[in-house]
Amino acid sequence: MRAGLPIRALLLTVALGLCLPGCGTCNLPPQLASISPTNVIAGSGQFVLTLYGNHFVRGALVSFNGVVFPTTFVNSRQLSVLIPVSEVASSGTIVVFVFNPPGSTTSVFGFNGTIGCGGDSNALLFTVKP
């Protein structure tokens, strides 16, 4: 028996070295820095919420009050979403965050290259005033 890595581990090491730089993508978790507006008056009508931060990708989703809404990708630092009046009908504090999908998967000898990719941003609070 020869010393060294088993053949499967050696093949995996070579394949990952050749493939990972160009195979698939890994979307980083988004970072939410601010939102605008930060508050509205209860029942005041629908509005566009703009989110600012880093690492936003096409396909990112915005969660507002636990509901995910269709999201417009502006660029990697800005998203926008139309919030209906039903979500701000009564006063309170609402949690807002962004979710990035993991990206395209890379599978090399059973290794899934998207492990740890994508995910939720930090949360910011939105206020609905009485």
Cβ-based burial of 118 (10 A; exposed 0-12, middle 13-18, buried ≥19): buried
Cβ-based burial of 127 (10 A; exposed 0-12, middle 13-18, buried ≥19): middle
Q: Is residue 92 part of a domain?
A: yes
Residue 93 has pLDDT above 70, yes or no: yes
CATH of the domain at 50: 2.60.40.10
Q: Is residue 2 part of a domain?
A: no
Residue 41 has pLDDT above 70, yes or no: yes
Q: Is residue 60 part of a domain?
A: yes
Q: Is residue 87 part of a domain?
A: yes
Q: What pTM value is reported for the model? A: 0.72
Q: Is residue 45 part of a domain?
A: yes
Total domains in the fold of the chain: 1
Q: Is residue 109 part of a domain?
A: yes
Residues 38 and 49 sit within 8 Å (Cβ to Cβ):
no
Distance CA 109, CA 68 (A): 35
Q: Which two tokens stand for residue 13?
A: 């090491």
Distance CA 66, CA 49 (A): 15
Q: Which two tokens stand for residue 95?
A: 């949690």
Q: Is residue 32 part of a domain?
A: yes
Strand partners, 32: 53
Residue 56 has pLDDT above 70, yes or no: yes
The predicted pLDDT at position 118 comes to 78
| Domain enclosing residue 29, as ranges | 7-129
Distance CA 26, CA 46 (A): 34
CA end-to-end distance (rounded Å), the chain = 77
Q: Is residue 122 part of a domain?
A: yes
